[in-house]
Amino acid sequence: MKKRGYGIANMWYGIGNTAAPNPSGAFVDFLDDGSAIVMTGCADIGQGSTTILGQIAAETLGIGIDEVVVISADTEVTPDAGATSASRQTYISGNAVRLAAEKIRDQVILKAAEILKREPETISLSNGSVFANHTPSGLTIKEVIAKCRSNGILTLAHGSYNPSTTLLDPETGKGIPYETYAFATQVAEVEVDTETGIVEVLKIVAAHDVGKAINPQNVEGQIEGGCAMGIGYALMEEVNMKEGEIQNPAMSTYLIPTAMDVPEVYSIIIEEPADKGPFGAKGVGEPALVPTAAAIANAVADAIGVRIYDLPMTPERIVAALQAAKEKVE
């Protein structure tokens, strides 16, 4: 018999390393042709950080994303940006890039104000052009950079960011381990075959507070990937040990979800800006994974009326739990 159930799980997650120094640096160079180079040690391992950091620089400098080249994770030329871990790169390296770009933007604005004989506060940059009181001035960013060059001014800067945290009290555990937190709620719908113990995840609804979705499509990809990993955590991934030796070291024996195991994931992006995040952004890498297994476990319990506390919830464990519950009743 197949039984259907629904489960919900909530989570909150600190962004960045826990109560530890967490700096990141970046260089940004505004070139003669109005394009820019971003140099960062941030390693893009598939999460899309190179795109995000390029977008942050482009938005700050008032140019298109196609006019930004990001050089990343080259230890010969890029500054340290820390590890790609702890869901930290958009928040921390994003701030480093933003700060570097802001220094250059302000430099260009000062020169533009001088050329236009306006107050700097009235000047803004957008689409490669200079605006005065939000009106096109007829001056381009490229022309302002050329003027800077003729005056011996280089338009390049370094930015760095280290979030404000404190060490944790060794006695009480109190402190400020993170500068900001991500929040999420996920709901899972499952169908459990009570004869075979096989669980099919039918649908996941995942609502995540990401502060500001700098690239919404990228955020949705992160959420979908996290949910896929959460399905593996809930239902199949397990390291089998015997006398200190891993018994399933190969991908043929250590099971992970395939495309056939991943259901429809309905992502909901919540934007509650982080005070100190770049344009309000937080991180979404690990938070997308955290609540999935709990939501599936709750859905399984709702479906079969038996709570299973060990992960993964393999068919064998589910059949055994159902049998134990049946014997307890008898």
Burial 251-279 (b: 16+ CB within 10 A, else e): eeebbebeeeebbebebebeeeebeebbb
Tokens of 84: 């790609």
How many angstroms separate the CA atoms of 228 and 237, rounded?
11
Contacts of 105 (CB under 8 A, 6+ apart): 60, 61, 62, 125
Query: 21: alpha, beta or left, given left = phi > 0 and alpha = psi -120 to 50?
Result: beta
Q: Which of 237, 286, 327, 330 is catalytic?
A: 286
Q: Indicate if 195 belongs to the active site.
A: no
d(CA 88, CA 45): 13
- CA–CA–CA angle 80, 84, 88 (5° rounding): 95
Q: Are 98 and 56 in contact (CB under 8 A)?
A: yes
Residues with catalytic roles = 286
